[in-house]
Amino acid sequence: MNNLINVPKSGNLTNTNSNVDLTNLSTWLNDIFNRNLPSVFNTNFNTGIALPKVNIKDTADSYIIEMAVPSLKKSDFRIDLNNDVLAISTKVKEESKQKNEKYTRREFNYSSFKRTFNLPESVNNKKINANYQEGILSVFLPKKEEAKRKLERTIKIS
């Protein structure tokens, strides 16, 4: 018994002398290897918490990064600037103790994240500032004078 498999230019497998449907096998294998990975593989295992969501606004005078980070304190954040890369990070260690009659239970909770942003050349690095209010960290990145958008105006034709 001779089983020949023809592979046409289209890439689909066909089996000319067998009861086994290799086209379905090929489709099944493609489904396995081409499907999206489960969300567990998309999480950041090193951070302990999900990365916070960010909005970035572009105004006439500056860029504003708004980061949603509720339940943290201003002192929990670290903002660094190194070679036009802005890094916002935090490391939080929470400890709670509960005593019972026969045992003590201790729970440690470490959480951290780090988000980095490549800043455009138009940012005036010397005037960057930030504030934290009601769970939103706002980082203000003022533009250099030459990069600021000028107000639109209408020019009259004479």
CATH number at residue 132: 2.60.40.790
Instruction: Please report, to the nearest 10 degrees, the dihedral formed by the alpha carbons of residues 101, 103, 109, 110 taken in order.
Output: 140
- Boundaries of domain holding 137: 45-147
**Percent of the chain's residues with pLDDT above 90:** 38
C-alpha to C-alpha distance for 56 and 79, rounded to whole angstroms = 16
What 3-state DSSP class applies to 11? coil
The answer to the question of residue 68 being in a domain is yes
DSSP, res 157: P
Say yes or no: 85 and 124 in one domain: yes
C-alpha to C-alpha distance for 37 and 33, rounded to whole angstroms = 9
Instruction: Please report, to the nearest 10 degrees, the dihedral formed by the alpha carbons of residues 81, 51, 133, 93 taken in order.
Output: -90
The answer to the question of residue 22 being in a domain is yes
pLDDT in tens, 3-55: 555 555 555 544 455 555 555 666 665 565 555 544 444 444 444 457 889 99
